Structure 1
């Protein structure tokens, strides 16, 4: 099984997850609440992350996710809703509210 590394800043926590694993699994891999998941359906915005490295490793955002991020004012193109991402390669992220 291929494992990919997700690095979460600012704590620099590294988590190994199976390829294709949803980022919602992060909360089961560490006792810390690294990403504040809310609805898990892409409609609350609690889990907005900034992707610092490996944007393509999280899959492509669909139009609904892009529109919602724009509504939230996250228009730089490096933000995602963590609940909508699946890890397909190594990536480094930061929870957007920690910026």
Structure 2
């Protein structure tokens, strides 16, 4: 099994997840709430992260995710809804303060 590394800032924590795992799996790998997941369906914005390194390893955002991020004023490609991402490589993200 291939493990991928997810670095989460500002907590400065590294979580190892199996290849293609949804980022929601972070909750089961640590006793801390490193990413604040809410609805898990991409409609609440609780889990917005800024992708600092490795963005392509999270897969391409779909149109609904892009539209929602645009509604939040976060267009431009640096932000993602963590609940909509799968880890396919090493990635570093920064959790965005509540919107």
TM bracket (short chain)? over 0.9
Q: TM-score, normalised by structure 2?
A: 0.96
Q: 2:9 corresponds to which residue?
A: 9
User: Could you say what the CA RMSD is over the residues aligned between the two structures, in angstroms?
Assistant: 0.9
Q: Once the two structures are superposed, what CA deviation does each residue of 1:27-60 show, in whole Å capped at 9, x if it has no partner?
A: 1111110000000000000000000000001010
SS at match of 1:68: helix
For 1:11 and 1:26, the matched residues in 2 are separated by: 13
Q: TM-score, normalised by structure 1?
A: 0.96
Q: CA deviation at 1:77?
A: 1.4
Q: Does 1:64 align with 2:79?
A: no
Gaps of 5+ in 2: none
Moved over 6 A (4+): none
For 2:20 and 2:75, the matched residues in 1 are separated by: 26
Aligned length: 98
For 1:51 and 1:97, the matched residues in 2 are separated by: 14
